[in-house]
Chain A
Amino acid sequence: MSKDDEYDYLFKVVLIGDSGVGKSNLLGRFTRNEFNLESKSTIGVEFATRSINVDGKVIKAQIWDTAGQERYRAITSAYYRGAVGALLVYDIAKQQTYENVNRWLKELRDHADTNIVIMLVGNKSDLKYARAVPTEEAKQFSTENGLSFIETSALDATNVELAFQKILTEIYRIVSNKALESENNERGAVPGAGQSITVAPTDTNAPKKAGGCC
């Protein structure tokens, strides 16, 4: 209905990670360019979108921000299905949130599509003097585990745009390569001319307008 629904690709991306690492503020920074001092904890999931340009194509990101607390895992993991990207966020000033990254990776292995693109995000890079997780360590961990890596600050906006740009581009490359490689109508691939990829939140709730894939 609205003009911003004209896009070439629609990618579903999830934001995951421990409570309090700044997922909601990263989302707010990316979609509304704001840091909300009055933000509340996320209950269940929240949703936002934004479109960006990659190689002259309009990519619409449909981002699901999830609650960080363990108790909500059952509800939030339902949203991993159909996601083509995941931003796994930790807090560079809080060691425990970094140590929990492994548990989040396992969550993704258990509930998400196998070829989901994962980016490890060390947020709150503005807290220089409180840093608990060295950049090099996280970078190496990412390389070993085949993840992209970036440090961000939702507060001062450092790298937030870049983080989303990077992961969406990476997804786009994979999808467009796949489109060249095969005519197989496998999930998350092959947009026909003028069509777009829909990655539905669940099997039954593909947004109508975006239909076109699978």
Chain B
Amino acid sequence: MAMLIDCLKVRIKPVSIPTPGSLSHANIGLGVGLLGGRYSLNPQTTTESEIKAAQAREELTRAAAAEEMNLMRKNTETGGTLARKNVATKAELMAEKSKNEEAAMMADIAKLNTMSIRFTKFKTLLDMPVIDLEQLRKLSWSGIPEEIRSTVWKLLMGYLPSSADRRDATLQRKRKEYEEYVAQSFGRGKATLDQALYHQIHIDVNRTHANIPLYQTPRIQEALERVLYCWAIRHPASGYVQGINDLVTPFFHVFLQSQTKGDVERADLSLVSPETLMEVEADSFWCLTKLLDGIQDNYTHLQPGITRQISRLKELINRIDARLYAHLQSQGVEFIQFAFRWMNCLLMRELSLRNTIRMWDSYQAEGTDGFSDFHLYVCAAFLVKWTEQLKKLEFQDMMMFLQSLPTQNWDDKDIELLLSEAYMWKSLFHNSPNHLSTQS
């Protein structure tokens, strides 16, 4: 703990660290909540013994909630004409309600207002002839509305050009290119494919999101197989590696969602034309390609990227929660035993597809290293979430626990808290090699 406090003293000034997007959005603001205001770790006023990082972490949830309320209130006061108008009319209706109901309703309205303000902000940005990607990133960090997620993701992944007049042509060209890839490989039937490669992809696609019926339909499975196969033969340095089958699905899911009404998981696929599905497939292929370009050495021979990430995670945990680190050590639990999968599948085995999609809003908003550097801090925040449980367990129970962490009921709120915590750790430790390497 002392080590953490030390670095807080060095690193943290009592000014808030701006979380991207926190200024305009209620959900994020935790960095501010912990480091400023009530939970100030101002070195002038706080002695080491007064602070326990563990306690601080427990407070995070409350801090986040409090902060959110504050921001919401602020938003209703200052959140532009839209907010003021709604609040004014609603205020009359609420005149007779009790104080509590009033407050709850105010919060709801504030939330709706925040959402519609955010939506308007996205819309305004997206309608520009040349999109300000920096602004789009800032806005996206706190979550992207479902209606426009597909477009925003394509922009953030660098697949769609930021200037509007080039967009259609680019899309057409890319989709055509992909169709040619498919024709080259699959045009003469599956018998001409690299059988070992195709077999591996085939059995993995069969085991992809097997709990979601959509992914058990032959049409979807074949589409995913084509994406993975075409990607694999164009990237011989790594080739297809198990787990990449998971990574294509958030793209596919979001892009298909934009082509269906209501929940894509319940959509009537017969209403999706072959042409449309091919577009979804092509877009998924190119975005997957962009994603993997950034984390290529996670999948090349000996997977050096993952090895590096795991040793960084280890150092990080030692700094953040030395007691947990010591406990893992004393029980003989090695980081590679549980965190290998966290890196290889970007936590997709630990979280639902829905959770992952929300998480990827922020990953993409983080910029080029969202899926590598920022992911590392998310993993750190994720591990220390279970500190209390882990400390009670010995080797075997701990291994079992880490293999199936209880995240089944996680929703956006949980993900957003995780992301905020990760952001905080990144602010503290990133680009400060002394903090990451002075410990053995």
Question: A residues touching B (Cβ–Cβ < 8 Å)?
Answer: 1-2, 5, 19-20, 37-49, 62, 67, 69, 71-72, 74-75, 96, 200-202, 204-210
On whether A207 and B203 interact (CB within 8 A), knowing A44-B341, A47-B399, the answer reads no
A43 touches B203 (CB 8 A): no
- The answer to whether the Cβ of B241 comes within 8 Å of any Cβ in the partner chain is yes
B102 cross-chain contacts in A, Cβ below 8 A: none
Are the CB atoms of B210 and A40 closer together than 8 Å?
yes
Partner of A207, one of B200, B396, B403: B396
Encoded as 1 (CB less than 8 Å from any A CB) or 0, chain B from 241 to 261 comes to 111010000000000000000
Instruction: Verify B242–A208 contact, CB threshold 8 A.
Output: no
Given contacts A202-B334, A207-B332, A208-B332, contact A75 B241 (CB under 8 A): no
| Complex contacts, B349 vs chain A, CB 8 Å | 40, 43
* Contact present for A2 and B340 (CB under 8 Å): no
- Assess whether B336 is interfacial by the CB under 8 Å rule: yes
Interface of chain A: mostly helix, strand, loop or mixed: loop
CA distance A138 to B394 in the complex (A): 40
Instruction: Give the contacting residue for B336; candidates A5, A39, A44, A209; CB below 8 A.
Output: A44
A43 with B242, Cβ < 8 A, contacts A71-B299, A75-B340 known: yes
B residues sitting closer than 8 Å to A (CB atoms) are 196, 199-200, 203-204, 207-208, 210-211, 238-239, 241-243, 245, 299, 301-303, 330-334, 336-337, 340-341, 344-345, 349, 393-397, 399-400, 403
B331 A72 Cβ-Cβ under 8 A: no
Cα distance, A49 to B393, chains bound together (Å):
15
Known interface pairs A41-B242, A45-B337; A75-B403 also in contact (CB < 8 Å): no
In contact, B207 and A41 (Cβ under 8 angstroms): yes
A residues in contact with B333, CB < 8 Å: 205
- CB of B204 within 8 A of CB of A41, answer yes
CB distance from A3 to the nearest CB of B (A): 12
Which 6 pairs from chain A and chain B are nearest by CB? A205-B332, A207-B395, A38-B210, A44-B340, A20-B203, A43-B341
CA distance A111 to B152 in the complex (A): 48
Contact B394 A209 (CB under 8 A): yes
CB distance from B266 to the nearest CB of A (A): 18
